[in-house]
A and B are shown apart, each in its own frame.
Chain A
Amino acid sequence: MKKLMEIKVNGETREILIEPWWSLARALREQLGLTGTKISCETGDCGACTVLIDGKAVKSCLFPVMKARGREILTIEGISSNKRGKLHPLQQAFVEHFAVQCGYCTPGMIMAAKALLDETPKPTEAQVKEYLCGNLCRCTGYTKIIEAVLAAADKM
């Protein structure tokens, strides 16, 4: 039987109907329509489902939705300011540096990069690579992504 649960996403408290065995990723996508969070490998390898929970990067496909109670969840939909068309510096840098091809890994990549920059505002290239090792991209070859993250760090 589905359960009613309160969840705080992108600063807003919402009520959702969930099954206790659902992952957070599934609840975000199916109950809140926040489809920016992608599901891909569902084994915690690819990072497409990365969101921030209480400011920390987490793979939402391995995170039981039941654990989300009382936590602050931030998804790709919540990182820019609410003004239409205004992007987060990381998003802007991904656009400017052509760090997107098919785009499927991009939300997870940006969320992981945001966690990195929140922790380490001016990371070295090696730190970016190390931090993003849990986010796979099958198009870009990573170079542009790393450039974009470093450029965003410079501007922030």
Chain B
Amino acid sequence: MPSFTTRVHITGSTHKLNDDLPFLQAITKTIHACDAVVSRDWLSEVSDPTSEDTDWEAALNDNLESIRKSDLVIIEATQGRFSQGLQAYTAAQYKRPTLIVTRSATNGHFISGVGSKLIAVKQYGTKEELAAIVTEFIKQNSIPEKDLRFNMILDRRIYKYLRDTSYETGKNKSQIIRSLLEKDLKKRQ
């Protein structure tokens, strides 16, 4: 049993789902092979994506919620649709490492300009290439669930502050730093 579970949000276009479905399924399979889980299994829910009865507000909210809950985001953007652009920006906004994969040429398109520290744009041709790209992305960005050892350099002033606070509160220096980080994290959320 692996010691970590990475949650991955996958999104793609329902516009030409029959064309993209085998590749979306290949992404799902690769995610599972990497011992990660899919945050929202929307592929099995899609019936008639062109229907005017589709509750777009619910679908969009489910996707945005899934991005919030995920560790990583993978976007199949061959169709280059509105929803994929919206989710790509939102994922980066929430600081989720995001992989955009496409079978279309990226050169000469908006998508080729969105790469950043958080967004990687990759072109693929076959399911095998896609699986390799997805595997590498997940491996690079997975964070183990167990506690991680972290070493850092402290300047004299900070060290003295931690030592004094530790003496006053009875907490060790690591606990003090962890609680400061947790407080900051809560504030940001």
Query: Are these two chains actual partners, yes or no?
Result: no
Question: Which residues of A pack against B, CB within 8 Å?
Answer: none
